[in-house]
Structure 1
Amino acid sequence: MLKRFFIAFIFGIFLGILISVIIFRSLLICPICKYEPVSLSEDQALPLTDQQYFYTVNNLLLSANKSVHIIMFEIKYYPDYPESNENRILEALIEVKRRGVDVKIVTDEYLTDHETFNYLKSNGLDIKFDSPNRTTHSKIIIIDGKVVVVGSTNWSYYAIDKNREVNVIIYSEHVAQQFEKYFEEVWQNL
């Protein structure tokens, strides 16, 4: 009898811990996080490495119908190399903006020069430098509130054409909305 009670007691403790972990897993993983964990069982995540980035991101940008919201540490425009992959990405943004897509960009003033900033601004893009007392090191692209590209690739020659880079494309409206919330917080505070 005592043995059964002891086994039931231990099982109850184990079950209680398991339920607590399941219910409060987001608090256990990140007690200060303001975003909820997401199961990707019905959604898709696709790794994107090295030079796959340009072709995939360029096509995703050109497919945008509603919005393209970007936070990017480094963006470079190369006036002497109009056909460069980096310039082609910027041209894709300009094209979708002309089609009526809401394009907003936050970048860091440290590595994104004023020539690039002014080029994008003069072509109608909404672009802001992040606060000078913050480093914007994020690399996030949110397309139509449904697709997110997040990873290590900046929009510069070395990052797009030479470096080993890794990113992930997440096809999930729920995940995209959480990134959108973050983007709006950053955008509104500038």
Structure 2
Amino acid sequence: MRYLFVLLVLSMFVFSQTPLYLCPSAIIVGPSNASLIATYISKAHKAVYIEVYALTWKELADTLAALANRGVQVYLVLSANVYGGIPTTEKKLVQYLQSAGVNIAFNNDFKFVHTKAFVIDNETVILGSINPTYSGVTNDKGLDVVVNDPSVAKEIATIILNDFNGVYPQYDFSGVVISPINSYGYLKWLLSQPGRVYAAVEEIYSSSGLADLLASRAALAIARVTDVEGVQRVPDLTAKVIVVGDLVYVGSVNLSGSSIRDNRELGFIFYCPSLARSAVSLIKEWAGSESNNIAYQTTSSGVGHSLAEDALIVLAVAAIFALALLRRKRV
């Protein structure tokens, strides 16, 4: 098994797409414990960076206003385009937040800014599919991950601040799925990896160019809306999660042409067996085939130790190849 993993890692380097080799510290499942988003953010000491499609959740707005009032820097990017227009509640909350000192920008450079990302003190990232709206928190079936990793947090903060300022470089962050930059390539790569495939994606459309690949491989695929045969419809589903073996995608990217090509979207692809198990169980629960036995907390200690050992193996193999090449050149 270990040697298979080494081969998998080497193949990832060849094709330049690599997952994050870490596990989230926790998962947030809407609507079961979606309110934890505000709880995490309330603990910020220095800065909070947020990019979301819409904001009508008063509890989060109160949390952000309180942070700004005590000197925490708060940056908020909202979509300038919203189906049906920007909600009246959001307009009122924006005025309230600006009066408290929150920095707010409406981004109009994408068809929709559909991200759901929160960065706390450049140390913690909350990212996934849960909208900070009343429906998003109290009703919708969504999934966020909590990642405690400063380097990952700074990468997501960089994207949010650039979107705030209207600056759009070509990012190349390992394991970070970004529409419209790399989401098609990353998700196609994921769906081509070995292992059983499970998917819960709000929109699964042929226009994505990936729906047929998903349908041909999935042991179970569910969506809220779809034009693909064999995909089960589940009401109120807003999650975007795909499991392939021990690889897991979580984010805001739908399997639709617009989401992949026109929107600003963010997601992660992890190598994390514990997250994969929890996500598969959750997908089965949403599909109505399994009762709730989700572990909302995931630990990275066991996986991290295993991955560290495997990383050493990979480095050793690479060193052996390098030495062999040097010896050939000398001969």
- Shorter-chain TM-score bucket reads 0.7 to 0.9
Corresponding residue for residue 111 of structure 2: 134
Q: Aligned pair 1:53/2:53, yes or no? A: no
TM-score (norm 1): 0.72
Corresponding residue for residue 94 of structure 2: 117
Q: Does the CA-based 8 Å contact 1:58-1:92 persist in structure 2? A: yes
* Counterpart code for 1:101: V
Q: Compare relative contact order (CA 8 Å, sep 6+) and give the higher one, 1 or 2.
A: 1
Q: Aligned pair 1:107/2:82, yes or no? A: no
Corresponding residue for residue 146 of structure 2: 169
Gaps of 5+ in 1: 1-16, 30-35, 77-85
For the residue of structure 1 that corresponds to 2:26, the secondary structure is strand
Q: Does the CA-based 8 Å contact 1:48-1:167 persist in structure 2? A: yes
Q: Does the CA-based 8 Å contact 2:24-2:145 persist in structure 1? A: no
In 2, Cα distance between equivalents of 1:152 and 1:96: 24
Corresponding residue for residue 143 of structure 1: 120
* Counterpart code for 2:68: K
TM-score (norm 2): 0.43
Which whole-Å deviations, capped at 9, do the CAs of 1:107-140 have from their partners, x for residues lacking one?
0133444333222212221011002653100000
Closer, same or farther: CA 89–22 of 1 in aligned 2, 3 Å = closer
* Counterpart code for 1:23: F
Q: Does the CA-based 8 Å contact 1:44-1:172 persist in structure 2? A: no
Q: Does the CA-based 8 Å contact 1:65-1:101 persist in structure 2? A: yes
Alignment partner of 1:66 out of 28, 33, 46: 46
Closer, same or farther: CA 18–109 of 1 in aligned 2, 3 Å = closer
Q: Does the CA-based 8 Å contact 2:34-2:138 persist in structure 1? A: no
Aligned residues between the structures: 154
Gaps of 5+ in 2: 1-6, 168-331
Percent identity over paired residues: 20
* Counterpart code for 2:14: F
In 2, Cα distance between equivalents of 1:50 and 1:147: 19
For the residue of structure 1 that corresponds to 2:135, the secondary structure is helix
Q: Does the CA-based 8 Å contact 1:38-1:175 persist in structure 2? A: no
In 1, Cα distance between equivalents of 2:104 and 2:149: 25
Deviation at 1:20, TM superposition (A): 5.2
Deviation at 1:19, TM superposition (A): 8.0
Corresponding residue for residue 288 of structure 2: none
* Counterpart code for 1:38: L
Corresponding residue for residue 9 of structure 1: none
In 2, Cα distance between equivalents of 1:20 and 1:184: 33
